[in-house]
Chains A and B, each alone.
Chain A
């Protein structure tokens, strides 16, 4: 168990540029989550995958945001035309989901990718 990994750990970009983050979950975990955390706030849910299917998207996930998990393993989160308000820590988590809903799952978090938009 090597834990959830995220790359890059830090990203500085200029407003209007596109950025992509990668998350590698714990290998046998079938569920994967993205959250955003801004200074002084708790993480806010963005989206959730079960295997390769994106089951839920938050209203926070505007049209400029897209997430994929093409083979049910790693996931990418892309932000197009970045804005200064996108500056935040982007967290990925994974869980081993058994039958039933994800509410009981223990989510294991990665260290996050800190995005700074200048």
Chain B
């Protein structure tokens, strides 16, 4: 069975500083990887996803993530954060084939707090 671990529940950072939100997954089959963001009182919004190909994936709002198969990681990064990036970020995996492909498995989330 797949699982997702987000190593930090909260990450405080100052505006314009770089940030990395860590995500590790475990799976015995190939997976697809996703990062979603949830702003207060809003639905989850896709930031980026890795399906195949280049391991460096660029998403919206200046975020990027790198798939590392050997370390089973998919860390999210942004070189310079803004106050508006304050939100909760969720890493998720989906099976690459076979049953349960529609079943996104989410981590517990990381709350990013950007301070002025």
Contact B108 A42 (CB under 8 A): yes
Tell me the smallest distance from the CB of A51 to a CB of chain B, in Å: 13
Given A42-B92, A42-B106, A44-B106, A103 contacting B101 (CB threshold 8 A)? yes
Tell me the smallest distance from the CB of B45 to a CB of chain A, in Å: 7
Contacts of A45 in B (CB 8 A): 102-105
Contact A58 B102 (CB under 8 A): no
Contact residues of B between 31 and 60, Cβ < 8 Å to A: 31-32, 36, 41-46, 49, 51
Contacts of B51 in A (CB 8 A): 104
Contact B102 A40 (CB under 8 A): no
Contact A103 B94 (CB under 8 A): yes
Q: Identify 15 new A-B residue pairs, CB closer than 8 A, beyond the known A41-B109, A43-B90.
A: A42-B107, A43-B44, A45-B105, A56-B99, A58-B103, A91-B44, A101-B95, A101-B102, A102-B101, A103-B101, A106-B49, A107-B104, A108-B43, A111-B43, A112-B43
- 19 sample A-B contacts, Cβ–Cβ < 8 Å, listed by A number: A40-B108, A42-B4, A42-B109, A43-B104, A44-B106, A45-B102, A45-B103, A45-B104, A56-B99, A101-B95, A102-B101, A103-B31, A103-B95, A103-B102, A105-B102, A107-B104, A108-B43, A111-B42, A111-B43
